[in-house]
Amino acid sequence: MPPTDPPAVFDAHAFADPALLRQALTHRSAGAPHNERLEFLGDAVLGLIVSEALYARWPKADEGSLTRARAELVRESSLAEVARRLAIGERLTLGPGEMKSGGHRRDSILSDALEAVIGAIYLDAGFEACRRVVLPWFEQAVSAVPASKVGKDAKTRLQEWLQGRQKPLPQYELKSESGEEHARVFVVRCVVSDPPAAGEGEGGSRRAAEQVAAAAVLEQLESGA
């Protein structure tokens, strides 16, 4: 059954139309009305909110750097992390198949639901109210992205870290692929032989999963773990 009350995290916004929130938390596997249209809208609204925050934070950054920083902040795994902090997965309405396969934990479903919630807030109260609610969810991430790393993704940074030390390049192995056609889940393992390190990543595409795995390995190497 869909939730009858909005999650506590949305206390900052009281929905004038609670049906919007219910729709935002309804996956297409549970039938209509589901959240795909709200996801489309929320993606655009979130892009503007994050773009504005980056523009203000880095007044001298060029367009390319800002674009890459935005991509880092709104990628699937980043949005899924925010969704987990907000306990969105616990409030999702899923069809029987997705419930059985653990869809409430899947990055692709969580990130889509987060965007749908943002779209719902926008429709319910407008852009300014939406920004007031949503921006705090991303402020820490915006502040944490160092300018020196904005222009390069995790795979590129890992490769350069190894090349700079004349070490072998990483190997990526697809461990599993599951889910329905519209919500595939890929798990990739990244392995570095020297120094020895390994990590796994999950994403809605093989490339996205590789990026998450590379980031996990790079974090190990940079911390000396």
CATH, range 154-223:
3.30.160.20
Residue-level pLDDT at 8: 45
pTM for this model (two decimals): 0.64
CA–CA distances in Å: residue 68 to residues 59, 115, 141, 210: 15, 19, 14, 17
Annotation-wise, does 17 bind a ligand?
no
Residue-level pLDDT at 191: 97
Annotation-wise, does 112 bind a ligand?
yes
Ranges of each domain in the chain: 8-149, 154-223
Catalytic residue of the set 98, 115, 124, 210: 115
pLDDT beneath 50: ranges in the chain = 1-8
CB 87 within 8 A of CB 9: yes
pLDDT digits (tens, 9 = 90+) for 77-87: 889 989 998 88
CB 78 within 8 A of CB 71: no
pLDDT digits (tens, 9 = 90+) for 143-159: 877 655 555 678 888 99
Instruction: Determine whether 43 is an active site residue.
Output: yes
**Cis, bond preceding 33 (omega within 30 deg of 0):** yes
Residue-level pLDDT at 147: 58
Q: What kind of fold does domain 8-149 have according to CATH?
A: Ribonuclease iii, N-terminal Endonuclease Domain; Chain A (1.10.1520)
Residue-level pLDDT at 136: 92
Residue-level pLDDT at 7: 46
Annotation-wise, does 39 bind a ligand?
yes
Residue-level pLDDT at 72: 83
